[in-house]
C-alpha cells in the first residue's frame, strides 16, 4: 500500500514574533478543511499564544529558525 501524500504547513505565531512550527498533514483527508489554529508556546514572546496556519516565503523558511540566520543579531540585541 502506498503512503498518503503529506503536505507541510506552517503555524505562525499571532504574537508577531515571526516564530513558527511546521506540521505535516494528509492532503486527501484534510481537503477543504478549515485552517489549523493551535495554542502553543512561543519562546520569543515567552508565553503561550495562538499559532495559525499561514504560508511563508521561501527565504523566511530557509533562514528564520537557524541561530545564524539574518534575524539572529536582532534577537540578541533585545
What is the C-alpha separation between 16 and 25, in angstroms, rounded? 24
pLDDT digits (tens, 9 = 90+) for 15-32: 988 889 988 888 787 777
Residue 29 lies in a domain: yes
Residue 78 lies in a domain: no
pLDDT digits (tens, 9 = 90+) for 18-75: 889 988 888 787 777 788 899 999 999 999 999 999 877 665 655 555 555 455 555 5
- Tell me if 53 sits within 8 A of 37, measured CB to CB: yes
Domain that holds residue 4: 1-57
- Tell me if 23 sits within 8 A of 5, measured CB to CB: no
52 grid coordinates: 495559525
Supply the pLDDT for residue 48.
96
Go through the chain and tell me how many residues it has.
78
What is the rounded average pLDDT of the residues 5-17?
87
Looking at the structure of the chain, the number of domains it has is 1
Supply the pLDDT for residue 28.
80
Residue 64 lies in a domain: no
Residue 73 lies in a domain: no
Give how far Cα 59 sits from Cα of 25, 50, 64, 69, 75, Å. Answer: 22, 23, 8, 10, 18
Whichever domain contains 20, its CATH number is 2.20.28.120
Amino acid at each position: 500500500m502506498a503512503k498518503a501524500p503529506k503536505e507541510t504547513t506552517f503555524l505562525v505565531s499571532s504574537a508577531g514574533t515571526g516564530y513558527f512550527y511546521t506540521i505535516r498533514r494528509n492532503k486527501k483527508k484534510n481537503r477543504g478543511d478549515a485552517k489549523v489554529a493551535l495554542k502553543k508556546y512561543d519562546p520569543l514572546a515567552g508565553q503561550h499564544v495562538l499559532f495559525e496556519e499561514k504560508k511563508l516565503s521561501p527565504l523566511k523558511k530557509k533562514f528564520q529558525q537557524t541561530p545564524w540566520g539574518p534575524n539572529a543579531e536582532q534577537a540578541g540585541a533585545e
